[in-house]
């Protein structure tokens, strides 16, 4: 990992940069920083950021949840994005490590990741960080609108 890269949990002061990076990643309308701050304050979600020389260049999100179906809490990485000019330098690995450490503190032992089956760069990133392809199939249905 690059010594100039540092990952940490996001704080309220990161809302503007998270808004910018989220729009680069997910497109659409830019999320207002006030909404991001509210989410950081009220959600159970973990949000980690990667900094290079103090500048935020990426983020990742994770969830943990309990279910009567499982002995221990379950974890899921739901988002991972690093801006183009900071890729292949260890930022994604730093974000994943930060999220994993925090999920571990919540008692999570297994983490799932959902990514596009043709997103080769993301798959390589996860595999490089010791995630393995599972045989699960995603089905989804939109029930709103």
Smallest CA-to-CA distance from 37 within 15, 61, 9 is with 15
Please, are residues 5 and 92 in contact by the beta-carbon 8 Å criterion? Answer: no
- Residue 121: pLDDT band by 50, 70, 90 thresholds? very high
Q: What is the pLDDT of residue 11?
A: 95
5-128: CATH homologous superfamily?
A: Gcn5-related N-acetyltransferase (GNAT) (3.40.630.30)
The structural domains of the chain, with segments of one domain joined by +, span 5-128
Q: Which alpha helices (H) appear in the chain, and where do they start and end?
A: 15-26, 33-42, 91-105, 120-128
pLDDT in tens, 50-84: 999 999 999 999 999 999 999 999 999 999 999 99
Q: What is the pLDDT of residue 2?
A: 62
Q: What is the pLDDT of residue 1?
A: 54
Residue 113 has pLDDT above 90, yes or no: yes
pLDDT in tens, 20-50: 999 999 998 999 999 999 999 888 899 999 9
Strand ranges across the sheet with 5-9: 5-9, 46-52, 55-65, 74-82, 111-113
């Amino acid at each position: 990992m690059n010594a100039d890269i540092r990952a940490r949990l996001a704080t309220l002061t990161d809302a503007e940069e998270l808004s910018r990076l989220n729009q680069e990643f997910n497109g659409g309308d830019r999320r207002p920083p006030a909404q991001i701050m509210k989410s950081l304050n009220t959600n159970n979600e973990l949000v980690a950021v990667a900094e290079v020389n103090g500048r935020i260049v990426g983020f990742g999100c994770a969830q943990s949840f309990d279910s009567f179906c499982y002995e221990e809490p379950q974890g899921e990485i739901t988002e991972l994005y690093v801006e183009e000019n900071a890729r292949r330098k260890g930022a994604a690995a730093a974000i994943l490590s930060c999220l994993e450490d925090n999920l571990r503190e919540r008692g999570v032992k297994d983490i799932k990741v959902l990514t596009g089956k043709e997103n080769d760069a993301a798959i390589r990133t996860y595999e490089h960080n010791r995630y393995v392809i599972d045989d699960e199939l995603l089905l989804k249905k939109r029930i709103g609108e």
